[in-house]
Amino acid sequence: MSASNLEEDVALYMDGNLVKEAKPHEAFKKEWKPGQTPDYAGIYRCAGCGDEIASNKGVQLPSQNHRQHSPAQGSIRWKLLVIAQQV
């Protein structure tokens, strides 16, 4: 993988057989504040700056100090990007 692939503004994956597009679901629309505990394990993306983090079910999302936002970015708001399937 070239370094340029790692500089994309979207989440990357390698094996398309292991991920699939989800049908519309409320879980992907909800915004979570720092310190809140999300309903699903998965990858969350900050709606302000685009940083992505992995979060386990039942574990609080990163606090306000994850990155300093500019006024244009607004507050930290985590949105679910990928649900991790746990069977």
Model confidence over 24-81: pLDDT tens digits?
899 999 999 999 999 999 999 999 988 899 999 899 998 766 678 889 999 899 999 9
What global pTM score does this model have?
Answer: 0.82
Instruction: Please report whether residue 11 resides in a domain.
Output: no
70/45 Cα distance (integer angstroms): 17
Instruction: Please report whether residue 68 resides in a domain.
Output: yes
Instruction: Please report whether residue 55 resides in a domain.
Output: yes
Per the structure, the complete domain to which residue 71 belongs is given by 24-83
Number of domains into which the chain is organized:
1
Instruction: Please report whether residue 8 resides in a domain.
Output: no
Report the largest interatomic distance among the alpha carbons of the chain, rounded to a whole angstrom.
41
Question: What confidence category does residue 86 fall into, taking pLDDT thresholds of 50, 70 and 90?
Answer: confident
25-57 per-residue burial string, b: 16 or more CB within 10 A, e: under 16: eeeeeeebebeeebebbbebbbebeeeeeebee
Question: What confidence category does residue 8 fall into, taking pLDDT thresholds of 50, 70 and 90?
Answer: low
